[in-house]
Structure 1
């Protein structure tokens, strides 16, 4: 892949994209201003979303495929990410490097990323360059040259990327082992970048079959954000993507699901490269798509109150009041097709040890399960989530990310725009119920990253 920061987007490593959006977003049919979001589908099945933003003469062109590492066949881990690399090689129409050279020639930039549930490619250019971007991107949707030379070159790049980003980074090693422990049956337990021996074993036939199966217009979502007009985008899309034949209909994304987990588990890594220990407590929770009505929003508010930000319970109690932690917080992994993950974490400070930090985190878990949250906490968290999403709209790329991630994980444009109503429906009782249901320490997976030779207490 050309851009050195393009690559694997893990749930917690790329960007947490919760399936919510700013109150100012409106669907085109319900608003008459020239910033209303619109969507339509081409005859070949390509979904298109247009997000006008006329503040600057810039456009973001982002093509998403509804395929990620969790869609790989058993024993073929890493193929989705491998293919992301190969998409930067040449096609039967354009030689390798011509697409990237064209972007650079007009002062644009490009990137790509792979996650469990999607793969995305984007360019940011002047609006006048959009037709050419669409032409190039539509061309490599079907005309990629999968030569043995390209495959072997990129295999070496992928293996080196795995070596640098995972094998040489203790926290990444632990993260892989945590996911493999948290998900006992679901493919989210397999790393997006893949296991080394399976990357080494991928063949030309594996890659060609993957390309023919998933890289089709009816398995893709085009998001265009910026100084654009929806009707012009439609015309450009029809002239480029619209000429590609619809691919075979794909079966629903049926994956092995998680059994009822009945045990608490621990994963520890001691490494001489670690200077300060840290811990995390991990649970999987339903995604927005699979959760009961209002449940995902309640979990999002629970995470916000517990540990997201300087005013959260964990930060105020462990860092400010007790002074036992250098950092403490939580995060909810966002847009996902099957499961999200709720993670609480902490790192000791001064003379405090990891056991003290863990005990303090557990005390806050039990307190919120037993006593719930206040109406003030709920209102503050709700406002903060909405405010964060308003700020998100200030970035074309992040705004396009939001819509693309939601639409490739089973959501709709309406799911993105309905945030205020969904959050307003959450009550303090809902948040307490979410804590009682999901913050079960008898089903948690604890991760400990420790200096070599150091005990947890």
Structure 2
């Protein structure tokens, strides 16, 4: 008898084979999948039914992230995410996750530059309870001073373990600070340590009362539910919360003209290998011209995604100067997108050689474009990912929630496959203009002891 894992792999292989025979345009979704409505208090609700199993994923998304923090309080959005698991008048300290666990479910939360999200995955009959609990902590958070200080130690330790003990994370943080001249994306989501150490209960409550409200949130429910069921439950829980008239979108500073490429060098004996990185500022989906962000997705798939990409073949297969190379485009953001490239040089290969070869690949695409075969392969790869992600409740909830929170619409999300299928080779070639060295930072990491500051002795 075949195991379930073997059957799954076999079906996946068959599915991919069939996918390769289908025209790209036939992969686009037919008809809307999600239903959306808004409660009188301003809470947007999106329901994506999936009735294959009696399970639901419940996510509440707030239109606030690290880029909205008041000056001097970096890390407060992430800190508040931690504190949301403390207490309310109805739920004791630390009991939220324990209750979800006793219900047989799972829960967690995450913070990024533009969003903060909380989610639970439970059986369908437990949905009313988790909605009641999440609605409760939307406005009834209770923070004890001592518990706040204890949790502050937790996030400081998290920074030490995830950033200070990780040379790659340090380099990424430094490159982010150099890439953006004015925009708050330059500040790490976890925060700068010296500012995190001063975060207080008052900082957390001010941030909470300003941004946590139904009219600054989006509820996404995927799974074995109908829109009518979710509407009834949402009205009975979130619907009782009054809108907050003081909620407002933070006016973030824009980027001035970038007139010089920036470079960062990090020396750290803990680094395993020398690595080369480059980040470019690029348009996000929310602000790109029609088809432009989709073209960037396809450009980076062709240039830098996987062993068939041009950069990988040039550096690893043809020239044998790197053991790995790649990159990606990240465009799901409220303000600015980012393009990232990287390479791991082989021993003895100078960074200059790596950079020259990558720049030559980019220049070739800018001058001569991509082939129709490359474009078709890239489209099918992305559309396959879209379809397979649609088979997962949590992935669906993230897809809708993240995009809606940064400014997209349900129509934007569901028509993405169709828009991607219409991108031309000429559009992909034109998108290379965003690989502008003046809007970039190049970073290198070496497994060496850093140079000593002036005036120090060994």
Question: What's the TM-score, normalizing by structure 2?
Answer: 0.90
Q: Measure, in 1, the Cα distance between the counterparts of 2:337 and 2:438.
A: 19
Q: 1:193 aligns to what?
A: 190
Match for residue 24 of structure 1? Answer: 29
Residue equivalent to 1:5: none
1:421-436 superposed matches below 5 A:
421-435=418-432
Alignment of 1:108 with 2:113, yes or no, is no
Checking the alignment, whether the CA contact within 8 Å between 2:330 and 2:339 is kept in structure 1 is yes
Indicate the residue corresponding to 2:18 in structure 1: none
Residue of 379, 392, 396 corresponding to 2:393: 396
Q: How many Å separate the matches in 1 of 2:311 and 2:254? A: 32
Matched, 1:279 2:276: yes
Say whether 1:130 aligns with 2:131. no
Structural RMSD (CA):
1.6
Structure 1 equivalent of residue 410 of structure 2: 413
Q: Is the 8 A contact 1:54 1:228 kept in 2?
A: yes
1:91 Cα offset (Å): 0.5
Aligned to 1:448: 444
Q: 1:212 maps to which residue?
A: 209
- Provide structure 2 residue ranges, at least 5 long, that are not aligned to the other structure: 1-26, 452-458
Change beyond 3 A, Cα 1:249–1:389: farther
Task: Using the TM superposition, give the Cα deviation of residue 352 of structure 1 relative to its aligned residue in structure 2, in angstroms.
Answer: 3.4
Secondary structure in 1 matching 2:118: strand
Match for residue 117 of structure 2 among 114, 120, 124:
120
- 8 Å Cα contact 1:287-1:340 kept in structure 2: yes
- In structure 2, the partner of 1:10 is none
SS class of match (1:201): coil
1:319 aligns with 2:316: yes
- State whether residues 345 and 351 of structure 2, in contact with CA within 8 Å, keep that contact through their aligned partners in structure 1: yes
**Aligned partner (choices 351, 354, 363) of residue 354 of structure 1:** 351
Number of residue pairs the alignment of both structures matches = 425
2:29 & 2:93 partners in 1: Cα distance? 42
> Helix, strand or coil: the match of 1:280?
strand
Kindly tell me: are residues 454 and 312 of structure 1, through their superposed partners in 2, closer, same or farther at Cα, counting changes over 3 Å?
Answer: farther
What is the Cα deviation at residue 146 of structure 1?
Answer: 1.8
Maintained 8 Å contact 2:65/2:112: yes
Aligned to 2:257: 260
CA contact (8 A) 2:58 2:220 kept: yes
> Which of 158, 166, 169 is 2:166 aligned to?
169
CA deviation string 1:352-390 (max 9, x = no partner): 343332222111111111111112222221221111111
Shift of 1:249: 5.0
The 3 A distance-change label for structure 1 pair 253 and 292 is farther
Quote the residue 1:159 is aligned against.
156
1:53 maps to 2:58: no
One of 243, 248, 255 as aligned partner of 1:246: 243
Deviation at 1:26, TM superposition (A): 3.7
Which structure would you say has the larger Rg? 2
Tell me the SS of whatever aligns to 2:169.
helix
Q: Is the 8 A contact 1:23 1:390 kept in 2?
A: no
Task: Provide the rounded CA distance (Å) in 1 between the counterparts of 2:216 and 2:320.
Answer: 51
Question: In the superposition, relative to structure 1, how do residues 414 and 391 fare at CA in structure 2: closer, same or farther (>3 Å)?
Answer: same
How far the C-alpha of 1:334 sits from its partner, in A, is 3.2
Aligned to 1:6: none
Q: Kindly indicate whether residue 336 of structure 2 is the aligned counterpart of residue 339 of structure 1.
A: yes
Q: Rate the CA distance shift 1:143–1:304 in 2: closer, same or farther, 3 A.
A: same
Give, in angstroms, the shift of residue 393 of structure 1. Answer: 1.1
Deviations 1:48-78 (A, max 9, x none): 1111112222111111100000011111111
CA drift at 1:117: 0.2
Secondary structure in 1 matching 2:80:
helix
CA distance in structure 2 between the partners assigned to 1:140 and 1:394 by the alignment:
30
1:17 corresponds in structure 2 to none
Q: Which of the residues 351, 369, 374 maps onto 1:372?
A: 369
Q: TM-score, normalised on structure 1?
A: 0.90
Aligned match for 2:94, one of 94, 97, 111 = 97
Residue 141 in 1 paired to residue 138 in 2? Answer: yes
Consecutive unaligned residues of structure 1, counting only runs of 5 or more, are 1-21, 28-35
Is the counterpart of residue 439 in structure 1 residue 435 in structure 2?
yes
Structure 1 SS opposite 2:142: coil
